[in-house]
Structure 1
């Protein structure tokens, strides 16, 4: 008996309807046998001979057998031959992990460098259009697996990108498998932003200036106790009250004056 199948199939051959021995070299009826290329077994209720090939095996596999009737009479040896034709296996891929800090700029790497391979040793390439693209940045990939990634400003968290890895087809057609890139973006403290202010005050008057009204911090509240006067004024005096500047001009002075100050957020770096 000669049968042709594609590999990975469970092959059932209904060849006999009585007792069967698939390893006649041993005493008694042998209902199972492990060969170099797979596992043979017998279902005595149906008379089926079952062959489960090893993963990725293709080629010819044969087994000898004998059958026995109800009188105990044993037949001559028969042979079952199974021919498994090759099919192309999809590439084996492994996830990639990248850890960067917030606003770290351009990141590069290669998704194929993490051990991706093809069972048939066919060359691998990546589809230029991701299966799942970056949601919080800009991602590009080349056919050879090299990629670039830039996160959006101030984003932190996990970015998950999925690309398709394909082989050259051995045999054709080509087969593909997904490869996942996990990018862990850890937060950093962004400095607060202090914007210039302009105020008009009266001559010989004491004025409280809310210079923090247009200042901001994307991560943390501005620490009012951190406000400090760095320079000025030239034509008066300035003190701080709950983070606001209290300005007193020199008696009789009319004109422009300047004060330079700095602020901090509740987690650190300075800005001016």
Structure 2
């Protein structure tokens, strides 16, 4: 599933071709939404933004078009009237005189009246977006230490969109590794220095992934591995999808474990398992 950085990049691209442009047509695959398509095409899109893994298009009449890619959804941008060669099922098409924004295979699409997002079963429960201006390291330290979250194991907490919207599986593994934290550890058990490092890594790695298109490893490490002829998949991360490869820091073999029914990668030496009194 695309994580927050990928969805934000998609929002940027869509915003570049849709924002404040006259719409020539809007089409929905779902009949209950298609009933509003003609009227929606009379309006303009004011902003396109992401909130965690959700994508929001805000129209000039206050309505918001919400979509979530989940596992299979994908946006394409083409010249107006053109369609990609794909076996995917088209669910939403928005066209301007120059461009077509096309959403395929997504099952989660909704048109929300002004203010209605607060009652939406998914959006209404989301925590702050990882890229929001207010999501600073200081804010994250306070949130991690709060009574609501301090006793949660970090391996589960970092995947909880109510804690922070936009983190996902690869970011979880990379944040914990770069912080030297085992997934069983709880925020409330970390010393101040480790907690501060964790808070910085959450923000920094999400931003790095956004800027690079999904890379979380340091630039020099990525460049060296690409120069050695390794595929991009083997260069993006320090631990994620590197099972049995040597740790870039200590040389120990990276391990893959199942955590919360999802795969997680860690270095057993750099991220030692906490003692019984320090774990959830």
TM-score by length of 2: 0.24
Structure with larger RCO (C-alpha < 8 A, sep 6+):
2
Whose helix proportion is higher, 1 or 2?
Answer: 2
Whose strand proportion is higher, 1 or 2?
Answer: 1
Larger radius of gyration: 1
